[in-house]
Chains A and B, each alone.
Chain A
Amino acid sequence: MRKPHLLIQAATFVVGIALWETVVSEGYVDPLFLPAPTKIFFSLISLYPATFAALYDTLLKTLVSFSIGSIAGVAIGIVVGSRSLLHDVLYPYIFGLYSIPRMVFLPLIVLFLGIGFNSTIFYAVLHTFLPVIIVVVGGVKNIDRRQILYAISLGATGRQIYSKVIIPAALPSILAALRLGIIFSLLGILIAEMYLSISGVGFLMQKLSFAFRSADLFAVTIVVALLAIVISAVLGEVSKKIEERR
């Protein structure tokens, strides 16, 4: 056997599902809360009809908040990372904001912007741009100071230092930040949808949970989880390709 770990993965999966099916069919748990895998499978095939519209809605909002949040985050991260006074003054605030549960601000955002698209996007942007800033600042801070000094001594202008030295050197961490950013964006949108309960797949999941439609809820959860895994894997491959090119 060339790849025994694949065998273990498959075995874990099969044994887990089989165990789950037996536990439910033997009546050890209430199927109202934990549906059998076979039932979840049927729910996956005939997915709850509102799922696609909700997914589309959520992904659209994720894309909007990711674009705003990541552009702002990368820009702020590069500036804060490259100016040491700015960094020393602002970084504790940024890190402080990052380390508190940002959801506590969601009610305030709702008070100002109302329930709907605007407050959802605003919250997700807040959710996205803080981790992006932190990662980009880390990358810019890690650049070898000598590279910048060489560029200055060769007569590079301020703008050239950014475009020819800092940004290329920090590219791996910028790519990592963007990868992190899209997951944080999706997370922010889902949290806002669950809290505001007006639209999107987060709202749908909350609704299915309160309606005790456990098989449908499982199916939607699996779809969203797989989607996130695929997005993050694709972005991982893309950034690997970009880094190989250089």
Chain B
Amino acid sequence: MRIRIFTYQLLILGFIIVLWEFSSKVVPKIFLAPPTNVFPLLLSIWFDPDTYPHLFTTGFEIILSFGLATASGLLLGFALGTWRLLRNAYEPILLAFYAVPSVVWYPLLLLFLGLDVASKIAFAFILSFFPIILTTIQGVTQVDKVLVKAAYSMGASKLTVFYKVVLPASLPIILSGISTGLALCVTGVIVGEMLGGIRGLGVLIASAATLFETAHYFVYTITVILIALLVNYVSKLFEHLSWRS
């Protein structure tokens, strides 16, 4: 059964590539670059040192914004999760902000922080902060109260209860929020770069498209897709590990 599914999946992928090759023979060159052009170009661009500053910028933006969002989201999430009064006050506000289409904030950030990396980092931070803090709150509040009471009655200190009961019991939910946050972080950086920037893969995509360098556009797009899929795969792996333990 597994092999059958895998075969079908490969067939779909093969069909897409063949369709892509044939349709690029039919339509004008600026619309589609055939895979037989794109893949050789892919290798030459990947090994071109001129690409590295762009890759580095995008990677730096992703890592910094994700780190900031995770640190602050976890910290504030645990605070709100354990402190009921604060949670009642601020959780509705956070949920309301989360319902706003995130790109609304981007022109403001562009105005405050300029075209360089700062605006992308701030935008990706906003995107990934909300799922992380909201799932942390949810994770902490769904911990079984009986477990917490039992630990206290056996003489555990507040710190011990946090490390030995609350944290392990809420970890799977929190990790799912972090993995959503990471995916949104990648999206935020790319969207930010495409809407206006100086360096980065998103800037390369937008400028290749504007210049009708379709083969280059495909190469950069495939690179971003591969990065996003890799990031997604790694974070799902972590999530599965936490469920098992």
Contacts and interface: CB of A to CB of B under 8 A. Distances in A.
Secondary structure at the B interface, as helix, strand, loop or mixed, is: helix
B108 interface: yes
B175 interface: no
A202 B187 CA distance: 18
B43 interface: no
B91 to A, nearest CB: 9
Contacts of A100: 224-225, 228-229, 232
A103 B194 contact: yes
Contacts of A205: 104, 107
A4 B86 CA distance: 10
Given A103-B190, A190-B103, A209 B108 contact: yes
Contacts of B93: 9
Contacts, number: 134
A186 interface: yes
Given A88-B5, A93-B12, A111-B31, A99 B104 contact: no
B191 interface: yes
A112 interface: yes
Given A85-B5, A101-B228, 14 more contacts: A8-B85, A9-B89, A9-B93, A99-B228, A101-B191, A104-B225, A107-B210, A111-B212, A183-B101, A191-B191, A202-B103, A209-B107, A214-B111, A225-B100
Interface stretch (A48-56, A64-72, A163-171, A216-224): A216-224
Contact of B31 (A96, A112, A218): A112
A191 B103 contact: yes
Given A103-B190, A229-B96, A89 B9 contact: yes
A96 B111 contact: no
Contacts of B209: 107-108, 110-111
Contacts of B107: 194, 205-206, 208-209, 217, 221
Contacts of A221: 104-105, 107-108
A186 B190 CA distance: 19
Contacts of B210: 107
A8 to B, nearest CB: 4
Contact of A5 (B89, B111, B191, B221): B89
Contacts of A217: 107-108, 111
B186 A101 contact: yes
Interface string B78-93: 0000000110111011
A224 B89 CA distance: 23
B205 A104 contact: yes
B63 interface: no
Interface string B158-193: 000000000000000000000000010011001100
A183 B108 CA distance: 20
A194 B99 contact: no
A229 B224 CA distance: 31
Contacts of B5: 85, 88-89
Interface string A93-126: 1001001111111111011100000000000000
Contacts of A212: 111
A40 to B, nearest CB: 11
A232 interface: yes
A219 B165 CA distance: 46
Contact of B85 (A5, A106, A111, A225): A5
A206 B86 CA distance: 36
Interface of B: 5, 8-9, 12, 30-31, 85-86, 88-90, 92-93, 96-97, 99-108, 110-112, 183, 186-187, 190-191, 194-195, 202, 205-206, 208-210, 212, 214, 217, 220-221, 224-225, 228-229, 232
A107 B9 CA distance: 27
For chain A, which range describes its interface: under 10, 10 to 19, 20 to 34, or 35 or more residues?
35 or more
A214 B109 CA distance: 11
Most buried by B among A12, A33, A209: A209
A187 to B, nearest CB: 4
26 contacts: A5-B85, A5-B89, A8-B90, A12-B89, A33-B112, A89-B8, A99-B183, A99-B229, A99-B232, A101-B228, A103-B187, A103-B191, A107-B208, A107-B209, A107-B217, A108-B221, A111-B31, A184-B101, A186-B101, A187-B102, A191-B103, A191-B195, A194-B106, A217-B108, A225-B104, A228-B99
A202 B110 CA distance: 14
A34 interface: yes
Closest 5 CB pairs of A and B: A107-B209, A209-B107, A187-B101, A5-B88, A8-B89
